[in-house]
């Protein structure tokens, strides 16, 4: 048998056999933890933007644009009535209102769009057999006027109803469904209170209703200016 012992050099001890060191794993880099963000002071209330909205108005696209552009400022959509829209503005940042509006000197008002008036009638009425109506088509019809009417007196060849004014547009639509008479409102209100047993047609030459954005002159804040820019279609990088 061969001798496995290594020969020692002259005058010395045998050299130890060389051992292979185990491979070391590369050191893993530690991902630094994000620094903790300080909590907002307990007495600091996040800003909110209060937008009043009259029945029929649809501010959805503007509200969505606000949330995208101003995520740090919440928005409250506050329903208001046309009769109380001027008083409501005192407690709001801005509002979608219907013109005319009282106390215009104290307000900034931007007209946005005009709504077409429509005739609401029972779905089986002969008035619904055409795509649009004129004042002459309404001769002899009983006109129902709701207590929250937004169009004002109309010069039409209709009959005066023999029953008291109905309180709301919603209740007036229900009365129309019973076949008692017709109702004339802006198209958005006809859509808002639509029922399966009624329908509506545009009234050509009828009085339109203007929807506008309004706010107090003395309360023009940067947030208000941002919302005005959104309504006017300005981008985040547009100059005022």
Q: Do 80 and 153 fall within a single domain?
A: no
Answer for the pair 91, 50: CB distance below 8 angstroms, yes or no: yes
Report if residue 37 sits inside a domain: no
HEC string of the chain?
CCCCCCCCCCCCCCCCCCCCCCCCCCCCCCCCCCCCCCCCCCCCCCCEEEEEECCCCCCHHHHHHHHHHCCCCEEEEEECCCCCHHHHHHHCCEEEEECCCCCHHHEEEEEEEEECEEEEEECCCHHHHCCCECHHHHCCCEEECECCCCCCCCCCCCECCCCCCECCHHHHHHHHHCCCCEEEEEHHHHHHCCCCCEEEEEECCCCCEEEEEEEEHHHCCHHHHHHHHHHCCCCCCCCC
179 and 126 in a common domain:
yes
Whether residue 84 is found in the same domain as residue 152: no
Asked if the structure places residue 11 within a domain, the reply is: no
Same domain, 92 and 156: no
**Into how many domains does the chain fold?**
2
Q: Are strands 143-144 and 209-216 parallel, antiparallel or unpaired?
A: unpaired
Instruction: Give the residue numbers spanning the domain of 60.
Output: 48-114+210-231
Give the pLDDT of residue 127. Answer: 97
Q: Are residues 57 and 162 in the same domain?
A: no
**Whether residue 88 sits in one domain with residue 56:** yes
Asked if residue 39 belongs to a domain, the reply is: no
Per-residue pLDDT tens digits for 167-215: 999 999 999 999 999 999 999 999 999 999 999 999 999 999 999 999 9
Average pLDDT score over the chain: 86
Residue 68 lies in a domain: yes
Q: Name which of 32-36, 127-131, 147-151, 215-219 the model is least confident about.
A: 32-36
Q: Are residues 159 and 190 in the same domain?
A: yes
pLDDT at 166 over 60: yes
Q: Is residue 175 part of a domain?
A: yes
pLDDT given at position 162: 65
CATH number of residue 75's parent domain: 3.40.190.10
Indicate if 165 and 182 belong to the same structural domain. Answer: yes
Does some domain include residue 62?
yes
Rounded distance between C-alpha atoms, residue 24 and residue 17, angstroms: 21
Note whether 195 and 78 are same-domain residues.
no
Q: In this structure, are 71 and 145 located in the same domain?
A: no
pLDDT band at 9 (very low <50, low <70, confident <90, very high): low
* Whole-number pLDDT of residue 46: 82
- 218 is a domain residue: yes
The answer as to whether 167 is a domain residue is yes
């Amino acid at each position: 048998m061969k001798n496995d012992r290594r020969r020692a050099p002259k005058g010395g001890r045998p050299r130890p056999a060389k051992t292979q060191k185990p491979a070391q794993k590369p050191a893993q880099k530690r991902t630094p933890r994000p620094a903790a963000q300080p909590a907002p002071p307990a007495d600091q209330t996040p800003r909110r933007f209060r937008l009043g909205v009259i029945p029929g108005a649809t501010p959805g696209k503007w509200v969505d644009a606000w949330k995208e552009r101003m995520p740090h400022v919440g928005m409250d959509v506050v329903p208001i009535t046309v009769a109380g829209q001027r008083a409501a503005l005192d407690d709001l940042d801005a509002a979608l209102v219907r013109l005319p509006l009282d106390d215009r000197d104290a307000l900034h008002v931007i007209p946005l769009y005009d709504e077409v008036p429509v005739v609401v009638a029972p779905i089986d009425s002969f008035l619904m057999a055409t795509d649009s109506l004129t004042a002459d088509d309404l001769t002899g019809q009983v006109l129902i006027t709701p207590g929250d009417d937004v169009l004002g007196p109309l010069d039409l060849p209709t009959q005066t109803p023999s029953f008291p004014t109905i309180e709301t547009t919603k209740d007036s639509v229900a009365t129309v469904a019973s076949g008692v008479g017709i109702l004339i409102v802006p198209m958005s209100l006809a859509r808002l209170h639509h029922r399966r047993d009624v329908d509506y047609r545009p009234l050509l030459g009828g009085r339109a209703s203007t929807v506008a954005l309004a706010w107090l002159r003395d309360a023009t804040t940067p947030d208000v200016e941002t919302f005005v820019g959104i309504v006017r279609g300005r981008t985040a990088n547009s100059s005022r």
